[in-house]
Amino acid sequence: MTTSQSLTVLSVTSEVYPLVKTGGLADVVGALPTALAPEDVEVRTLVPGYPSVLKALKDGHVAHEYEQLMGGPARLLAGTAGALDLMVLDAPHLFDRPGNPYLGPDGKDWPDNAIRFGALSRAAADVGRGLVLGYTPDVVHCHDWQAGLVPAYLAYSDGPRPVTVVTVHNLAFQGKFSAELLAPLGLPAEAYSLEELEYYGGISFLKAGLVFADHITTVSPTYAAEIRTNIGGMGLGGLLRKRGAAVSGILNGIDAFDWDPAHDGYIATPFDAKRLKDRVRNKLALQGRLGLDVSASTLLYGVVSRLTGQKGIDLLIEVLPSLVAQGAQLALLGSGDALLETALLDLAMQHPKQIAVRIGYDEALAHGMQAGVDALLVPSRFEPCGLTQLYAQRYGAIPVVARTGGLADTVVDANDAALAARMGTGVMFSPVTTDGLLYALERTAGLWAQPTVWRNLQRRAMAMDVSWTRPAAQYAALFRALVARGTAAPMSAV
């Protein structure tokens, strides 16, 4: 809590929980406004007017009308949805489309995604420069490539501008498009240079944000270090190295209200660290629901994940025969690459009592898994922060994670030294290979075989502070420091 002057932040995002979500970005953007309120930081969220967002908007009124915004008329609607204070970009020609915010019915990116999120960024920059009477934010907080052009539009405009912060939730998504789009996006031809938007013969929205933002954050300190390297930088490492101290990491928290095992309406039996005995009922219910052998003594692993190479799902598939041979079980919920989905379903057919696979997106089952599995596997090749290992710890599921990014920052490996010092909340492994993962499974089974050690791991995991309290204070301190410093010409930093 602080008594300093209140700050206004416009948070610009392509998804926000609970209105529209495809991944962790939505959770983070949805939780930050409430977390920042006690810090005297008022957040308004600018989000595209997808059908689900317009439906949820309450007390919406027109804050601005564009005759034309990238190919059609558009309006900025101000209103609320639950705890969220919203600014919605209602542009039917861009956003009145059903389903996933990025993909068309053929499962491919909408061909006009550059224009769609260019328009979002343009509107954010306009609001940042005082387009809406009575509302000029101190800070524009831009999330991922979809908001990457905001700092560029501001840099190419005259007059005062707000402080800009770009948060990278996943550097793999860079918003790469043809340079021919510069003109339709309303960007000057000189933007097509190595120091500005040019990227491997095209342009990158994320690069634009990284070049022009006053500050760049990513979602864990370890990932902030990894993205400065050539491999972790995925083409942008050199630029991030040049930005130096303008790049930092702030961990994500979780919504401690939605994810609270003592009051979780999705789970069979609520429990907390003092009533750990009750937890097993959730395990038995989960095994029963998924058609696995119902057995309290069998080590049950869980996975809740996008099914992609980033998440190491191919490694998991390779070690599954060993997991089965060890007599353990796996419950997996996810969706993603068709080849990985098929391989997992095949294995589940071969071992129906030990492997259960549910393809799809299911919030209720995700909660049931965290409450019921003994250990949660996260074998990611890279992981900016990761949320599922945070939920797992709060729910007493022991995280078994790759030593990378936010996983390395949020799990305390239960090695011998840690255990001797009464520390450790999970199992961490590296290198991230099948051998590394196999060894982690062996270590996990060894810990599972010692019920008191396991229970202590669970208690420590459940006691970890995975709330937004600390991260929110860090964001607030950063915003205040940047506003106090003022908007130096960001291009001097690169």
Does residue 249 interact with ligand ADP by CB under 6 A? no
Angle at 476 between CA 165 and CA 493, to 5 degrees: 35
Return the beta strands (E) in 233-323 as ranges: 247-249, 300-307
Does residue 112 interact with ligand ADP by CB under 6 A? no
Of residues 304, 376, 457, 482, which one binds ligand ADP by CB under 6 A? Answer: 304
For the bound state, the minimum distance from the C-beta of residue 10 to ligand ADP, rounded and expressed in Å, comes to 23
Window 200 to 239, contacts with ligand ADP (CB under 6 A): none
Of residues 76, 333, 347, 440, which one binds ligand ADP by CB under 6 A? Answer: 333
277-281 CB contacts, 8 Å cutoff, 24+ apart = 279/371, 279/372, 279/396
Burial 185-199 (b: 16+ CB within 10 A, else e): bebeeebeeeebbbb
Window 470 to 489, contacts with ligand ADP (CB under 6 A): none
Does residue 334 interact with ligand ADP by CB under 6 A? yes
- Position 368, amino acid: G
Say if strands 300-307 and 198-199 run parallel, antiparallel, or are unpaired.
Answer: unpaired
* Residues in contact with ligand ADP, shown as a per-residue x/- string from 13 to 52 under the rule CB under 6 A: ----------xx--x-------------------------
Q: Please give the residue whose beta carbon sits closest to ligand ADP in the complex.
A: 24
Contact 227, 392 (CB under 8 A): no
- Measured between alpha carbons, how far is 28 from 143 in angstroms, rounded to an integer? 10
For ligand ADP, give the closer residue by CB, 222 or 456. 222
CA distances for 336 relative to 45, 65, 299, 304, 379, angstroms: 28, 38, 26, 12, 16
For ligand ADP, give the closer residue by CB, 69 or 387. 387
Does residue 340 interact with ligand ADP by CB under 6 A? no
Does residue 305 interact with ligand ADP by CB under 6 A? yes
For the bound state, the minimum distance from the C-beta of residue 152 to ligand ADP, rounded and expressed in Å, comes to 25
The string of DSSP letters for 239-253 reads HHHHHGGGEEE----
Window 357 to 386, contacts with ligand ADP (CB under 6 A): 361-363, 366, 385-386
For ligand ADP, give the closer residue by CB, 69 or 365. 365
* Paired tokens of 137: 């934010």
Q: What is the three-class DSSP state of 238? A: helix
Residue bearing tokens 């001797």: 420
Contact 219, 254 (CB under 8 A): no
Does residue 146 interact with ligand ADP by CB under 6 A? no
Does residue 341 interact with ligand ADP by CB under 6 A? no
For ligand ADP, give the closer residue by CB, 249 or 334. 334
Cα 321 to its chain centre, rounded Å, is 31
Does residue 335 interact with ligand ADP by CB under 6 A? yes
For ligand ADP, give the closer residue by CB, 19 or 304. 304
For ligand ADP, give the closer residue by CB, 177 or 391. 391
Does residue 388 interact with ligand ADP by CB under 6 A? yes
Window 437 to 456, contacts with ligand ADP (CB under 6 A): none
* DSSP state at residue 16: B
Window 260 to 299, contacts with ligand ADP (CB under 6 A): none
Q: Which residues bind ligand ADP (CB under 6 A)?
A: 23-24, 27, 304-306, 333-335, 361-363, 366, 385-388
